[in-house]
Amino acid sequence: MPEPLHFILNDKEYETTLPGGTLVLDFLRLHARFCGTKEGCKEGDCGACMVLVGELDGDTIHYKPITSCLMPIGEMHGKHLVTIEGLNQQNLTPVQQAIVDAGGSQCGFCTPGIVVSLTGYLLQRGPSFDDVAVKYALGGNLCRCTGYASLKRACTEVAHRFEHNGDDHTTRSGIDHLRKLIEWQMAPPYFESIPSRLQALAAANPTNGQQIDGPLIAGGTDIYVQRGAQLPNTEVRILGRDSGMKTIEVHEGDIHVGALTTFEEFATHPEIQKCIPGIVSYNLYNASWQIRNRATLGGNIVNASPIGDMTALLLALESELLLQRQGQTRTVAMRDFFKGYKKLDLQSGEILTEIRFAKPDRDTLVHFEKVSKRKTLDIASVNSAIRIRCKAGSIVETALTMGGVAPIPLLMKNTNDFLTGKPVCSETVRGAIAVALSEVSPINDIRGSAEYKTLLVRQLLIAHFSTLFPKQITVREFYETH
């Protein structure tokens, strides 16, 4: 019998013995009957089920909006779970009021989720809503009624009100930030007591460290989409409850990334931004902020989808994977990890703990391209990453990867060989295209026809080179006849 779970639900300490795999959404709607949280898709795509999860960090706390439809209740242990009901105060909060005033709610079904996301944004970053911030904050919320224009106006209104209210755009975390939001009535007063209450909760309920034998859950954003019907009644092993696997460290020119690092943590880390200067913009096209708050790099790799975005990038960085089972550790080169469609060099019970790659040197450029039907919150038709080292105008070494064109995330071996030693010019790219086309084997599926994906292989190669070497290579050169 697993230990009961202890957490704070809105303003109340809560204990439950539900199986740890139970979805937070089901727990809220069916058990706790907090019905402000809605179910729109149960796949992480609509945001109607959005909740905030607050996690202690020393004596302060960090809140993130997360889709409760892909999050197991076991994950809540020791945390603060906030639903729309937990944000309500006697008067409407400034976010709620602005949505009302701007006509940002029509049928209302998406609205609680939108309020939660926006409040989550405020808790993380303050009310500095500009066009970009609004989209960031609402990237994981669909609204079929409003067309978003009124919601954008509502956010602008919130930003206006609080610019004149002493927001210096700096205090964005820590207890002071929280106090300020409480003062502005963006969050209810009880939030201030949460950090100490969570500490007390942890002290009163020490875990016995017993590990549950069950399916591994990292962020849950893949496994619950695929097995959402079976997992909720079972115990699951929540990797986040084991310690570690979350740090990003630099060791002698190598970057070590814990497998539980989320997309968002990865892309906002200063070391990573140095290695991959475009990471923030690439990441914007990966899922949504809300999903990126949960989706882990390890999950992306082990899920073994041929179109995993971070996988494509990490493969181009020629990462190594550290795998652990019962104290035994081994290392596999990522290029050897993928054996076939969703087949991995991973034994049962083995956990991916860390991803390592060499820090790109000054002559190395890294770039990522992704084409999907909808630019944001969509799975790629084809994605591609490249790491390329040039000296004196010629290519010394390169690793190009393509996703969505083979049963596995593909390191384009022949193309890489072809490119090595060649000068950086359009002629080289033309040659590379020919080799690349012989290396890929896309199929017709929901993400596009095989022909389309084949064409994208060509296009993305041109895109890589014309983006990385705009002086030497222009797109025009590939369309001479036009």
Among 303, 319, 426, 459, the residue binding ligand FAD under the rule CB under 6 A is 303
**Sequence-separated (6 or more) residues with CB below 8 Å from residue 470:** none
Q: Which does 16 bind (CB under 5 to 8 A by kind): ligand FAD, another protein, ligand FES, none?
A: none
Q: Within 238-257, which residues bind ligand FES (CB under 6 A)?
A: none
Q: Within 25-84, which residues bind ligand FAD (CB under 6 A)?
A: 43-45, 70
Q: Quick check: 69 binds ligand FES (CB under 6 A)?
A: yes
Q: Which residue's structure tokens are 């070494």?
A: 397
Q: How far apart are the C-alpha atoms of 100 and 106, rounded to whole Å? A: 10
Q: Which does 148 bind (CB under 5 to 8 A by kind): another protein, ligand FES, ligand FAD, none?
A: another protein
Query: Which class for 72: exposed (0-12), middle (13-18), buried (19 or more C-beta within 10 A)?
Result: buried
Query: Which class for 233: exposed (0-12), middle (13-18), buried (19 or more C-beta within 10 A)?
Result: exposed
For residue 21, the Cα-to-chain-centroid distance in whole angstroms is: 21
Phi, psi of 266 (to 5 degrees): -60, -50
215 or 431: CB nearest ligand FAD: 215
99 or 429: CB nearest ligand FES: 99
Q: Which does 20 bind (CB under 5 to 8 A by kind): ligand FES, another protein, ligand FAD, none?
A: none
Q: Which does 406 bind (CB under 5 to 8 A by kind): ligand FES, ligand FAD, another protein, none?
A: another protein
Among 28, 32, 48, 297, the residue binding ligand FES under the rule CB under 6 A is 48
321 or 457: CB nearest ligand FAD: 321
How many chain residues bind ligand FES (CB under 6 A)?
Answer: 23
Among 44, 74, 404, 442, the residue binding ligand FES under the rule CB under 6 A is 44
Helices (H), 94-173: 94-102, 111-125, 131-138, 149-163
Binding mask 210-229 for ligand FAD (x = CB under 6 A): -----xxxxxxxxx-x----
Q: Within 378-397, which residues bind ligand FES (CB under 6 A)?
A: none
Q: Which does 49 bind (CB under 5 to 8 A by kind): ligand FES, another protein, ligand FAD, none?
A: ligand FES
H or E segment and range at residue 249: strand 248-251
* Burial profile 130-141: b = 16 or more Cβ within 10 angstroms, e = fewer: eeebbbbbbbbb
**DSSP 8-state symbol, 312:** H
Plot region of 93 (φ>0 → left; ψ -120 to 50 → alpha; else → beta): beta
Q: Quick check: 118 binds ligand FAD (CB under 6 A)?
A: no
